[in-house]
Amino acid sequence: MKGLFIISGLGVLAMLAEIFKFKKLLYPLVLIGILAAYVTNFMEWNSNFSIPMFSNMIRFDNVALAFSGVILVTAFFWFILANDYFEDDHVTDHFALVLFALVGALMLTSFSNMTTLFLGIEILSIPMYVLAASRKRDLASNEAGFKYLIMGSFASGFLLFGIALIYGATGSFDLMAIRSFISHANGDLPAFFYAGVLMILFAMLFKVSAAPFHFWAPDVYEGSPTVITALMSTIVKTAAFAAFMHLFLVVFGGVSETWSMVLAIVIALSLVVSNITAATQQSVKRMLAYSSISHAAFMLMAILANNRGWASINAILYYSLAYSIGSIAAFTVLYNVSKAKNSSNIEAFNGLGKRHPFLAVCMVIAMLSLAGIPITAGFFAKYFVFSVLIGTSFKWLIMVAILTSAVGVYYYFKVIIAMYFKQEESHEDVTMETSHMLLLVLTSLFTIALGVVPNYVIEIFSN
Amino acid sequence: MLNGIPINFYIMLSAVLFIIGVVGVMARRNAIIIFMCIELMLNAVNLMLVAFSTLHNDANGQVFVFFIMAVAAAEVAVGLAILSMVYRNFKSIDIDLLSRLKN
């Protein structure tokens, strides 16, 4: 709870920095603030278990705290990655926008009312639209911001329509009231209640960019500035999944027969479409966009296993942590390489293994983790998802997932092959800041540590 | 029943308005019209929330409407800013021009 206040305060402080001229101090202040938010978040663990705040609008129970922790850790890493994004004229605006987006993300982990769900999604999305379009002269960035805005508000319309229908059926916006209404109704719910659940499902699938609602994602990811793409594919995704999980595992778990088949088809489609399209991409940035769709499908698989209780929450938590850390590492390397070579195509990585062995090793670890190869965190992330899904009637999805993961290995290895077995044509040196090196060391160690001792995260919740 | 009109009529009306909005977003090419269609979708929701709020005798639905209005205003403010930036660079607001990012 205090973490949310600290981040909101930092956002306001960032806007004041413009007026009171302490712009130079802002970057260290934000880093310290995020650490402080993480520490207070950690201290609240187990202490105020499920105490509702603000007339039951927000509730920081342990699940919310765990997801907030993942978001804050990723945010800290992201701010290290993005240090030179905060060096042009709009420093304070960029800081304020990112910090307010973080506030939205934290709200999405802890909402306990449909009102806070809607506000959280909008507080997260509206700054992201601006950030996606933040390269004002760059046509690709313009297009990315515009597409994100249209698709995001379109999805919000569906979300609201769903919320309104559910309100009509149950007479409440409170999630626990809706949950108990479902369990007391014994299947005797009006038809428009089910329509509402499906519309919320479609809206959330839009937000997490699962096929066939993914068409905006590759364009937006490619057009946005690279650091903003990193933000979108880590923090925004984790927050959206925390919300998705809360809604569909906890609240609509009682009517799972309405949505589980739709979700299973969406997952199968996302896995096939994203992996096959990613294999044909020339741009690594666009490939990472498609790979994020396939990772979204994996996290959805854990939501599909809704009769497994804590096990699937653990699996989603572990997956989002592993994926966020791996992505931050991959985007750090991509950012430095594409800055030096002025291209984010796969050819830019040619010969990196010889000239910059450190960068190449970190990229290999990130790619192995994203591909799900053992001793990295990505392997156990996939393994735990499969282990929760095996007890349900959707075992066939595991077959689809394994087959498409094989395709996934192909395109992640394309990068590794380019780095070690191809000759580079031009000799631009990749110059890298010490902070980025430190970040890569940290994320790589973290990825391997999570893969070697996964039980610290995976057994975090149990009955 | 609200004022002698069955609740289904309200649901039908707002569903029709919502669908007009959805079709507008998908079919129209002018960015301003697309914004107007998104507003139509949100206002269809507002209408339905107010109807349900009266039906349940519960003020929460109407409070929610205020949130939607405030957020819609923020969204349009950001949207028009992005749109004017797009217009400055592309000299047009036809969304078919915005397809550079295809392979």
pTM over 0.90: yes
Q: Which candidate in A143, A163, A215, A290 is best for mutational testing of the B interface (most B CBs within 10 A)?
A: A143
What is the rounded CA–CA span in Å between residue A103 and residue A54? 16
- Per residue in B74-93, pLDDT (tens digit) is 999 999 999 999 899 888 88
Cα–Cα distances (Å) from B86 to A94, A132, A428, B98, in that order, read 20, 13, 33, 9
What is the rounded CA–CA span in Å between residue A98 and residue A134? 12
**With contacts defined as CB-CB under 8 Å, which chain B residues touch A153?**
38, 75, 79
Q: Which candidate in B75, B83, B92 is best for mutational testing of the A interface (most A CBs within 10 A)?
A: B75
- Are A448 and A375 within 8 A, CB to CB? yes
B1 confidence band (pLDDT: 50, 70, 90)? low
Number of H helices, E strands in chain B: 3, 0
Spell out the residues 6+ positions from residue B90 whose beta carbon is closer than 8 angstroms to its own.
A139, A142, B97, B98
> Is residue B2 situated within a structural domain?
no
Q: For B102, list phi and psi in degrees, rounded to 5.
A: -100, 155
Q: Tokens at residue A211, please?
A: 């096929």
Sign of CA pseudo-dihedral A316, A319, A325, A331: negative
pLDDT at position A427: 73
Domain boundaries, chain A: 2-458
Q: Tokens at residue B15, please?
A: 């569903």
Q: Which residues of A179-218 are buried (b: 16+ CB within 10 A; e: fewer)?
A: bebbeeeeeebeebbbbbbbbbbbbbbbbbbbbebbebbb
Count of domains in chain B? 1
Of A139, A160, A286, the CB nearest to B68: A160
**With contacts defined as CB-CB under 8 Å, which chain B residues touch A160?**
41-42, 45, 68
> Is residue B47 situated within a structural domain?
yes
- CB contact under 8 Å between B75 and A149, yes or no, is yes
Of A114, A119, A150, the CB nearest to B34: A150
Domain that holds residue B40: 7-97
Assign residue B20 the CATH number of its domain. Answer: 1.10.287.3510
Q: Tokens at residue B64, please?
A: 């929610």
CA neighbor of A86 nearest in space, from A140, A25, A3: A25
Q: Give me the DSSP letters along B8-52.
A: HHHHHHHHHHHHHHHHHHHH--BHHHHHHHHHHHHHHHHHHHHHH
pLDDT at position A21: 82
Of A129, A157, A223, the CB nearest to B78: A129
Question: A381 and chain B: CB distance < 8 Å anywhere?
Answer: no
pLDDT at position B71: 94
- CB contact under 8 Å between A161 and B55, yes or no, is no
Least Cα separation, residue B68 to chain A (angstroms): 9
Spell out the residues 6+ positions from residue B18 whose beta carbon is closer than 8 angstroms to its own.
A157, A161, B40, B41, B44, B45
Q: What is the pLDDT along chain A (463 residues), one digit of tens a residue?
A: 788 999 999 999 999 988 888 888 889 999 999 999 999 988 888 776 567 778 888 988 888 999 999 999 999 999 999 888 877 778 888 999 999 999 999 999 999 999 999 999 999 999 999 999 998 888 889 889 999 999 999 999 999 999 999 999 999 999 999 999 998 987 788 888 999 999 999 999 999 999 888 889 999 999 999 999 999 999 999 999 999 999 998 899 888 888 999 999 999 999 999 999 998 988 999 999 999 999 999 999 999 887 777 888 999 999 999 999 999 999 999 999 988 888 888 888 888 888 889 999 999 999 999 999 888 999 999 999 999 998 888 889 999 999 999 999 999 999 999 999 888 777 777 788 889 999 999 999 999 999 888 887 777 787 5
Local structure of residue A224 (DSSP, 8 states)? S
What is the rounded CA–CA span in Å between residue A335 and residue A170? 48
Least Cα separation, residue B19 to chain A (angstroms): 10
Chain B CA closest to residue A145: B82
Q: Give me the DSSP letters along A405-460.
A: HHHHHHHHHHHHHHHHHS--SS-------HHHHHHHHHHHHHHHHHHHSTHHHHTS
Chain A CA closest to residue B23: A154
> Is residue B102 situated within a structural domain?
no
- Are A159 and A200 within 8 A, CB to CB? yes
Chain B CA closest to residue A139: B89
Of A122, A136, A167, the CB nearest to B61: A167
- Are A82 and A227 within 8 A, CB to CB? yes
Chain A CA closest to residue B47: A164
Mark which residues 49-88 of B lie under 8 Å from A by CB: 49, 51-52, 55-56, 58, 60-61, 63-64, 67-68, 71, 74-75, 78-79, 81-83, 85-86
Query: How much is the ipTM here?
Result: 0.95
DSSP alpha helix (H) spans, A247-391? 256-279, 284-304, 310-341, 352-355, 357-371, 377-389
pLDDT at position B103: 46
B23 burial class (0-12, 13-18, 19+ CB within 10 angstroms)? exposed
Least Cα separation, residue A123 to chain B (angstroms): 9
> Is residue B1 situated within a structural domain?
no
- CB contact under 8 Å between B25 and A281, yes or no, is no
**With contacts defined as CB-CB under 8 Å, which chain A residues touch B25?**
150, 154
* Cβ atoms within 10 Å of A111's Cβ, excluding its own: 24
Of B11, B25, B101, the CB nearest to A140: B101
pLDDT at position A272: 94
> Is residue B80 situated within a structural domain?
yes
- Are A408 and A271 within 8 A, CB to CB? no
- CB contact under 8 Å between A130 and B78, yes or no, is yes
What is the rounded CA–CA span in Å between residue A344 and residue A211? 24
Q: Which residues partner with B59 through β-bridges?
A: none
> Is residue B74 situated within a structural domain?
yes
Residue A28, preceding peptide bond in cis (omega within 30° of 0): no
> Is residue B103 situated within a structural domain?
no
- Per residue in A20-36, pLDDT (tens digit) is 888 888 899 999 999 99
What is the rounded CA–CA span in Å between residue A289 and residue A219? 9
- Are A233 and A299 within 8 A, CB to CB? no
* Cβ atoms within 10 Å of A48's Cβ, excluding its own: 15
What is the rounded CA–CA span in Å between residue A342 and residue A423? 18
- CB pairs < 8 Å spanning A and B: 124
**With contacts defined as CB-CB under 8 Å, which chain B residues touch A137?**
89
In the numeric block, the tokens 């209404």 are attached to A181
